[in-house]
Amino acid sequence: MNRKRRRNYTMMEMVIVIVIIGLLAAMATPLYLKHMKRARINTAKTQIRLLEQAIFDFQLDLKRLPDGEHGLRELEENVANDEKWDGPYLKQNVPKDPWGEEYVYTQPGEHGDFDLISYGSDRQPGGENEAADICNYGTKK
């Protein structure tokens, strides 16, 4: 009768395995976080471009920009009951930025007909690197 031998792991072998797993996690976590920061910035840039296009489509139909009072909500619903409104101009609701905040829309803008801004990871005007503002007129420094 052939019986398979069962091998028990020693405490030292278990500690070595746990240390190896810990080292791998310590190396992978910063890479993952760096990737996530870059992905959020790229998402905000893409969303701003999509919102800009929706604003331009709105402007083509109504011959005006969404006003400062109703802001981006005019892309979703006909708040002014305008007969020329042919929306919604977005497939979904106006998204929040990747950090969970509303995009700041000002009309007239300081840098053009309108400004569209995400304040980035610090959720405040200004900032550098990952905390820099992301705008329709470029990254604010």
Domain ranges (residues) in the chain? 11-139
Residue 64 carries which DSSP code? S
pLDDT tens digits for 17-58?
Answer: 999 999 998 888 888 888 888 999 999 999 999 999 999 999
pLDDT of residue 138: 65
- Nearest CA to 97 out of 136, 128, 53, 129 is that of 136
Is the pLDDT reported for residue 140 higher than 60?
A: no
In the chain, alpha helices (H): 11-62
Q: Which CATH class is domain 11-139?
A: alpha beta
CB 120, CB 134: distance < 8 Å = yes
pTM: 0.74
pLDDT of residue 80: 86
> Which band of pLDDT confidence, cut at 50, 70 and 90, is reported for residue 141?
very low
**Cα three-residue angle 87-89-90, rounded to 5 degrees:** 130
